[in-house]
A and B are shown apart, each in its own frame.
Chain A
Amino acid sequence: MPSVYTHKFDTPVFKGAVEIPTGIFIDGKWRDGSDGELIDVINPATGKVITQVSAGTKKDVDEAVVAAQRAFDTVWGLNCPGYERGKLLYRLAELLEKHQDEFAAVEALDNGKTFSWAKKADVTMSIGTFRYYAGWADKIQGNTIETSKDKIVYTTHEPLGVVGQIIPWNFPLMMLSWKLGPALAAGNTIILKPSEFTPLTALLAAKLTQEAGFPPGVVNIINGYGSTVGNAISHHMHIEKVAFTGSTIVGRKVLEAAAKTNLKETSLELGGKSPNIIFDDCDIEQAIDWTIHGIFWNHGQACCAGSRIFVHAKIYDKFLALFTERTKEIKVGDPFGNDTYQGPQVSQQQYDRIMEFIDSGKQQGAKVVAGGERWGTEGYFIKPTIFTETKNTMRIVQEEIFGPVGVVIKFDDDEDVVRQANDTVYGLAAAMFTKNIDRALKCSQALRAGTTWINCANQLHPQVPFGGYKQSGIGRELGQYALEHYTAVKAVHINLGHTP
């Protein structure tokens, strides 16, 4: 029988015991993975093992699909009216709100982000996202379409069936809410694989879905490795759709798997190397604060991070000085400390990767004006880092680092900076700072990115779609747009009089 891990928190910002189931959750029941394997869950602030959780297998995924299909055919899908699906999602939001501190604490423990950010951003947005999609559940409407008087034609937007969802480690709970929300609102049943690096809040969330009253089989959560559970999901012949958030490299594999198997609908949220353009007529103070939020929020572990910072020559020196000064003031440390802004990176693997990028920057001749090295002696902490005097060909300018590392690039030509901003295989987001209306709207239109932020950065709302152009992904999450990816359109023609 799978165990429950109890973690006792005794920190300046949160105290209390939280019980976390450690098994896999299939068909409303908790159990071990079919081959009994376990995965260590590491605390990135210390590098030490917190607990172990079950690892699922292909066999577990197969069983989950059977349960999810059964649930879809009997108690979910269009068997359950949208209003009722919505009520359950509202209940889930309520329960999450009730337990928000526990979830924030477990997220901070597992992922390394600070308790305060986890609470005010991750958990708050998750609650908002469940509420938002609860509202859509009974509003999924098709069209009636005029063709001729001898016919009635209409479309219905039907759920797809069993969908697979693979989520990353950077915003574990929030990503779970972005996936579960629209999928459940539209009437699908779900097999979700959390990241093996950060499974704990997903396991707590599974418990909440039980408590909220989702029928068994509607939500199944299987922790495990990408190469086993993830692979099984992306190749499964009876999973109608897969939604993946993660790196572009793995995203490619997910799409290939769909191509090779049942052509399952695939949506991908991948990497980014998003530009942040600071024009000379910006509000500089605001621009700097947002730039910091753009690259250092979540320790740079955000797909939409504004990691290429273009600053107009006229304000370059002033901007860089102030930006550097404020970056150096960022408080790094214990995620449960009172004033900590930045905790550790999520894993040894990520730490090594980021440090390697930093070294490459130094070796390729870029200048470090802040950070550029480890922080502290245990755990995976890296100082917020700024590079200048880069060349476009450098790895730190081209490749996604996914860490607290920004590059600052001087520009003086408005059109050319847009060209530079677009000169990337990615197209997830872009930010700009200007007070001028023409510049704001025209530049926004010219940027090839799924989100453009004007005078802000990294701002997300459940109501607003998010997703990439180019190799940053396929499809949109959030907003009404997400529903399109979780429904299939059926056209119904009723002939009243035509003969063939």
Chain B
Amino acid sequence: MAKTFTHHFNTALFNGTVAVNTGLFINGQWLNSLNGDVIVVINPADGETLTEVAAGNAADIDLAVQAAKRAFKTVWGLKTPGHERGRLLCKLADLIEKNHDSIAAIEALDAGKHFNDVRRIDVQNSIYLFRYYAGWADKNHGKTIETSGAKFAYTRHEPIGVVGLISPWNYPLVLACGKLAPALAAGNTVVLKPPEVTPLSALMLAALVKEAGFPDGVVNIVTGYGSTAGQALIAHHDVGKISFTGSTPVGRKIMETSAKTNLKRLTLELGGKNAVIIFDDADLEQALKWTVMGVFGQVCAASSRVFVQEGIYDAFMERFVAAVNSMRLGDGFRADVDQGPVVSQEHLDRVLNYIESGKREGARLVTGGTRAGGSGFFIKPTIFTDVRPEMKIVRDEIFGPVGVVAKFKTEEEAIEFANDTFYGLTGYFFTQDLNRAIRVSNALEVGSVYVNSTLFNAPQVPFGGFKQSGQGKELGEHALETFTQVKAVHINLGVKL
């Protein structure tokens, strides 16, 4: 019943026709939303409308949750053995791999990301994630635990049941896959609400889920707005857990809703205002390259506060500004582009407001600071120096191409600056000294520390913030724990009353 969006790509990097079903994917079928609501999907590179997709509301979410609940009780959960769940996850990885370029193209189009980056990073990691968790599906071990001869005690690692997944618009496909894979591996059934601003890759994924052979109802994908579909999912009494990636303010609301409803478990991957510290013994060339890569961008892990030791500050800044000034803006399907648009008009306005606040509060604008011409949502990569810790551009997560740079004297000072935030997602620093590498890693109050790189993750290694950057971990073995509940079984063998 639901319509198909067909797009013909004719670009320097990709040619071809890709079709995406725009309905809600519930219980293995494509449906319009019950009240016919739709979301308009915009191309951020030129502001034009691409298509409309169904917008689910509370009633649609309820349908999806009921389908997921039925599937959990009958054909999924521990009724399907782990190795079989793993086999299906592998199959899905294979199908993504087979449709590699089409998915990359749709994602790049929808989110304004660069096609080559999406192919190399987003799609590859999505495949990797499904294969990685396929391997865990039959290895979620409990323990047998000795207490006394009168008891046989063991734990079972059981799936929770129906879980709600809410994925963000900055890495729509891969961050959805990062939730789907461990949730399914552990035996849960799923209702995924993709981001309203960038829903298309999730809809493509839905078609592959069906083709892979997952039983109906195991994976349900309901596009919709956060305030309606998202809220309905978060408040639903039959959903045992929410895994959310997004902003800290919304994360707060989710926690409040959970408290008011069924105390559902939460994994929250929230914001960050991450520091990158460049010590004077760093390999300067490498530090520069990694910083340029990490500082700008709609990434929770962006290294948006740059701290440079005073001895190398001038040398670093000169090269940093030169590198930033040479960045080319453009749409994601041209070869000679370093940065694409921000995702939407709303977000563009938000980022520009932050830039204005920086100017107003007296920071020094070194480069960028304005919208770039044209109808797309482009902002020039922007650097502020002479910043003070209380400035909004230093405290708040901007989530756009804006970096702030400050000088530091000593290691202790750098650590203090870096930790001076209620966020705690990632920390980066550059040094060649072994002891410093370990000391600073120990001292940074963040969930992930990276020495001599930025934004260099691996699916096997857990990721998740300290402090108000979130709760719980994604990736690695840890993610399984968050989608599992532990049941302890005590069998009495000897105590008679």
Contacts of A496 in B (CB 8 A): 435, 438-439
In whole angstroms, how far apart are the Cα atoms of A312 and B438 in the complex?
65
- Selected interface stretch from B79-87, B245-253, B285-293, B338-346: B79-87
Q: Which of A128-136, A204-212, A392-400 is the contact stretch?
A: A128-136
Asked whether B83 lies within 8 Å of A132 as measured between CB atoms, the reply is yes
Please measure, in the bound complex, the distance between the C-alpha atom of A463 and the C-alpha atom of B90, giving whole angstroms: 18
Contact call B493/A494, Cβ cutoff below 8 A: no
Q: List the one stretch of A83-91, A113-121, A326-334, A406-414 in contact with chain B.
A: A83-91
Find the B residue at minimum CB distance from A138: B460
Task: Name the CB-closest residue of B to A141.
Answer: B477
Interface members, chain B 64-95 (any A CB < 8 Å): 82-83, 86-87, 90
Query: How many Å from the CB of A414 to the closest CB on chain B?
Result: 15
B86: nearest chain-A partner, CB-CB: A135
Is the Cβ of B83 less than 8 Å from the Cβ of A131? yes
Q: Does A10 count as interface, using CB distance less than 8 angstroms?
A: no
Q: Is A318 an interface residue (CB 8 A)?
A: no
Q: Which residue in chain B gives the minimum CB-CB distance to A87?
A: B131
Contacts of B491 in A (CB 8 A): 437, 441
A438 interfacial contact with B, CB 8 Å: yes
B310 interface contact, C-beta 8 A:
no
Partner of A463, one of B87, B138, B152: B138
Contact of B47 with A by CB under 8 A: no
Q: Quick check: is B12 within 8 A (CB to CB) of the other chain?
A: no
CA distance A132 to B134 in the complex (A): 10
B3 at the interface (CB under 8 A from A): no
CB pair B477 A134 closer than 8 Å = no
Indicate if the CB atoms of A438 and B493 lie closer than 8 Å: yes
Q: A90-B90, A131-B87, A494-B438 are in contact. Are A139 and B135 (CB under 8 A)?
A: yes
Kindly identify, within residues 230 to 276 of chain B, every residue whose CB is under 8 Å from any CB belonging to chain A: none
Q: Which residues of B contact A141 (CB under 8 A)?
A: 477
For residue B132, CB closer than 8 A to chain A, the reply is yes
CA distance A52 to B477 in the complex (A): 49
Are B477 and A463 in contact, CB atoms less than 8 angstroms apart?
Answer: no
- In the complex formed, the residue of A with least CB distance to B436 is A496
Residues B460 and A139 in contact, CB atoms below 8 Å apart: yes
Interface residue A155 (Cβ < 8 Å from any Cβ of B): no
Q: Does B434 reach chain A (CB closer than 8 Å)?
A: yes
* Contact call A86/B439, Cβ cutoff below 8 A: no
A442 CB-CB contact with B under 8 Å: yes
Distance of A67 Cα from B373 Cα, bound (Å): 61
Chain A residues with Cβ below 8 Å from B435 are 496
Most buried by A among B83, B136, B434: B83
**A494 is contacted by which of B135, B139, B434, B477 (Cβ under 8 Å)?**
B434
Q: Is the CB of B131 within 8 A of A463?
A: no
**In the complex, which of the residues A83, A437, A442, A494 contacts B132, with contact meaning CB atoms closer than 8 Å?**
A83
Query: How far apart sit A496 and B443, CA to CA, in the bound complex (Å)?
Result: 14
The verdict on B141 contacting chain A, using a C-beta distance below 8 Å, is yes
**With A83-B131, A441-B152, A496-B439: A135-B87 Cβ-Cβ less than 8 Å:** no
Provided the pairs A139-B460, A438-B493, A496-B435 are in contact, do residues A86 and B135 lie with their beta carbons within 8 angstroms?
A: yes
**B83 x A128 contact (CB < 8 A):** yes
* Contact indicator B135/A441 (Cβ below 8 Å): no
CB-based contact A441/B128 at 8 Å: no
Complex CA–CA separation, A139 to B479 (angstroms): 13
Residue-wise interface mask of B (101-139) relative to A, using a CB-CB cutoff of 8 A (1 in contact, 0 not): 000000000000000000000000000100110111111
Interface size class of B (residues with CB under 8 A): 20 to 34
Which B-chain residue is minimally distant from A151 (CB atoms)?
B438
A437→B493 CA distance, assembly (Å): 8
Distance to closest chain B CB from A492 (angstroms): 12
Nearest CB in chain A: distance from B11 CB, A: 30
Q: Which residues of the partner chain B approach A494 to less than 8 Å between Cβ atoms?
A: 434, 438
A438 to B150, CA, bound (A): 10
Which partner residue on chain A sits nearest B438 by CB separation? A152
What residues of B have a CB within 8 angstroms of the CB of A128 in the complex? 83
Within 8 A of A (CB), among B307-359: none
Beta-carbon contact of B141 and A480 below 8 Å: yes
**Residue interface mask A459-500, B partner, CB < 8 A = 1:** 000110000000000000000100000000000001010000
For A86, list chain B residues within 8 Å (CB).
131, 135
Residues of A within 8 Å of B, CB-based: how many?
Answer: 25
Instruction: Encode contact with A along B462-497: 1 for CB under 8 Å, 0 otherwise.
Output: 000000000000000100000000000001010000
Contact B82 A463 (CB under 8 A): yes
CA distance A86 to B83 in the complex (A): 15
- Taking the closest CB of chain A, its distance from the CB of B125, in whole angstroms, is 11
The answer to whether A131 and B152 touch (CB under 8 A), given A83-B131, A437-B491, A438-B493, is no
CA gap between A134 and B137 in the complex, in Å: 12
Instruction: Count chain B CB atoms within 10 A of each CB in A134, A135, A437 and give the residue with the most.
Output: A135
Residues of A within 8 A of B138 (CB): 132, 135, 463
B82, A139: Cβ atoms closer than 8 Å: no
| Minimal Cβ-Cβ distance residue in A for B132 | A138
Beta-carbon contact of A136 and B139 below 8 Å:
yes
Find residues 129-164 in chain B having any chain A CB closer than 8 Å to their own CB.
131-132, 134-139, 141, 152
CA A215 to CA B305, docked complex, whole Å: 45
| Inter-chain contacts of B493 with A (CB < 8 A) | 438, 441-442
Shortest B467–chain A CB gap in Å is 21
Question: Are the C-beta atoms of B152 and A134 separated by less than 8 Å?
Answer: no
B-contacting residues, A347-397, CB 8 Å? none
- B86→A131 contact, CB < 8 A: yes
B139 in contact with A139 (CB, 8 Å): yes
- A134 to B83 CA separation, bound complex (whole angstroms): 12
Q: Which residues of A contact B83 (CB under 8 A)?
A: 128, 131-132, 462-463
Alpha-carbon distance between A152 and B436 when the two chains are bound, in angstroms: 12
- Which residue of A has the minimal Cβ distance to B134? A135
Residues 60-91 (chain A) with a chain B CB within 8 angstroms = 82-83, 86-87, 90
A118–chain B nearest beta-carbon distance, Å: 20
Contact with A along B451-464 (1 / 0, CB 8 A): 00000000010000
Given contact pairs A438-B493, A494-B438, A139 touches B136 in the complex (Cβ within 8 A)? yes
CB-CB under 8 A from B134, the residues of chain A are: 135
Q: Say yes or no: A480 contacts B132, CB within 8 Å.
A: no
> How many angstroms between the C-alpha atoms of A101 and B19 in the bound complex?
38
With known contacts A87-B131, A90-B90, A437-B491, A139–B477 Cβ distance under 8 A: yes
Identify the interface centre among B86, B131, B141: most chain A CB within 10 Å of its CB. Answer: B131
With the chains together, A141 CA to B86 CA distance in Å? Answer: 20
A463 contacts B438, CB within 8 Å? no
Q: How far is the CA of A157 from the CA of B360 in the complex (A)?
A: 55
B439-A135 in contact (CB<8A):
no
Q: How far is the CA of A103 from the CA of B110 in the complex (A)?
A: 48
Q: Which residues of B contact A138 (CB under 8 A)?
A: 132, 135, 460
Q: Nearest chain B CB to A133's CB is how many angstroms away?
A: 9
Contact of A83 among B128, B137, B434, B477 (CB under 8 A): B128
Tell me, rounded to whole Å, the shortest Cβ–Cβ distance linking A426 to chain B. 24
Q: How far is the CA of A138 from the CA of B136 in the complex (A)?
A: 10
Question: Contacts of A131 on B, CB cut-off 8 Å?
Answer: 83, 86-87, 90
Given A128-B83, A437-B491, A438-B493, CB of A463 within 8 Å of CB of B139: yes
Q: Is the CB of B139 within 8 A of A135?
A: yes
CB-CB under 8 A from A441, the residues of chain B are 152, 491, 493
For the complex of A and B, list the 10 residue pairs with the smallest distance between their C-beta atoms, beginning with the closest: A135-B135, A441-B152, A463-B138, A152-B438, A138-B460, A496-B435, A438-B493, A496-B438, A441-B493, A442-B493
- 20 example contacts (A-B, Cβ-Cβ < 8 A) are as follows A82-B460, A86-B131, A128-B83, A132-B83, A134-B135, A135-B136, A135-B138, A136-B135, A137-B135, A138-B135, A138-B460, A139-B139, A141-B477, A441-B152, A441-B491, A441-B493, A442-B493, A462-B83, A463-B138, A463-B139
Known: A131-B83, A131-B90. 20 other contacts (CB 8 A): A82-B460, A83-B132, A83-B460, A86-B131, A131-B86, A132-B138, A134-B135, A135-B136, A135-B137, A139-B136, A139-B477, A152-B438, A437-B491, A441-B152, A442-B493, A462-B83, A463-B83, A480-B141, A494-B438, A496-B435
Residues of B within 8 A of A (CB): 82-83, 86-87, 90, 128, 131-132, 134-139, 141, 152, 434-435, 438-439, 460, 477, 491, 493
